[in-house]
Amino acid sequence: MALDHVDFMFCVPVWFNLALMGYRGYTDGFGRLRGTLRWLTYGVRWQVKGVLGARRRILVDMRWRLGDEIMALPVYEALRKRYPSCHISALCNYPDLLEDNPFADAVNEDRPRPDRYVLLHGAPRDVYRIEHYARRAGVPAPSTRPCLYCQDWSSALLDELPRGDGCRIAVAAGAGWPTKRWPVENWRDLCRKLEARGYVLVELGLPDDEPIGVGVCLVGKTRVRDAAVVLRHVSLLVCSDSGLMHLALAVGTPVLALFGPIEPSTLIRDEPLLHVIRNGRDCQGCCNIPGKVKELGTCPLGVASCLGPITPDAVLECVEDLIGRKR
């Protein structure tokens, strides 16, 4: 069997160089010497099994933040198309994302024994994310968008959602970096105006997020799967650039997202469900410019609120427009 270009990328010299550069991830627990030897073993075993026609095993290591793990979901399908007979397993922090996924054979196995190890954790900020993941995996850039394949979309939290004719809108004020967060007083102003117009609000977020204090508060009460179920039962999510933004898109719910330090096109492209409000500053997207930001989450110009120029009335107008299109 001839070795194609993608397979050859993972022969001994390349794996050895990657090991020396520190791209070990899963092998870190074995110590530097044993980890490097395992990298070399993967490369050899991958080639030998390919020649013999034996079933090969691919381990995708994507233990990162929620949004990043969601953005990587199309890679599993691309790997399955590229290697249809391979066993594909995943190491991840959010296994709910891969529930019933037809392209992943196993999730967080106790003792994975891969013939090929794909490390997706980490990415340059000036490269379109899915293209970077695809290059790491040695597959063409997927054209499909991230989605969840859960068969059971039930959750006890659905009983906490208000009944009635009011249009449900989810809001999520949290974000991983301070520069991605809209001032909470702006959130409260927006939510009061939405409730005054008859919208039913559901608030989502992590336990350490500061609650807005309106509507049905589910902050800190949901696992990823529960949040996904709730998001399927709302008409719109209003949020900052966060993992919940990606989760809503993955379940098919429209999103209105506020962006400041990140240029959204480096994360998501050609997504009709995503509607973006930028902060309007000349420095918008600064984190995607190499060398511009020394410490992620801090403003190099010392601006107190990156998203400050976005007003509650501007967001309200966009919400009304988007809901009006759905009616």
Helix axes 73-82, 129-137, angle to 10 degrees: 40
The H or E element that residue 62 is part of is strand 57-62
* Residue partners of 300: CB distance under 8 A and separation at least 6: 286, 292, 293, 294
Please determine, for residue 227, whether its predicted confidence score (pLDDT) is greater than 80.
yes
Amino acid present at 314: A
199-214 per-position pLDDT tens digit: 999 999 999 999 999 8
Spell out the domain ranges in the chain: 5-137, 162-326
pLDDT above 70 as % of the chain: 87
Same fold, 5-137 and 162-326: yes
Please determine, for residue 17, whether its predicted confidence score (pLDDT) is greater than 50.
no
The whole-angstrom separation of Cα 53 and Cα 85 is: 10
The whole-angstrom separation of Cα 8 and Cα 21 is: 19
123-146 per-position pLDDT tens digit: 999 999 999 999 999 999 999 999
Judged on CB neighbours under 10 Å (0-12, 13-18, 19+), 227 is buried
41-55 per-position pLDDT tens digit: 777 888 888 889 899
Q: Does 162-326 carry CATH code 3.30.1600.10?
A: no
CA atoms within 13 A on the CB side of 70: 23
The whole-angstrom separation of Cα 311 and Cα 109 is: 47
pTM of the model: 0.88
CATH number for 5-137 (one of 3.40.50, 3.90.1690, 1.10.3470, 1.10.287): it is 3.40.50
The whole-angstrom separation of Cα 268 and Cα 129 is: 8
* Residue partners of 95: CB distance under 8 A and separation at least 6: 107, 108
241-261 per-position pLDDT tens digit: 999 999 999 999 999 999 999
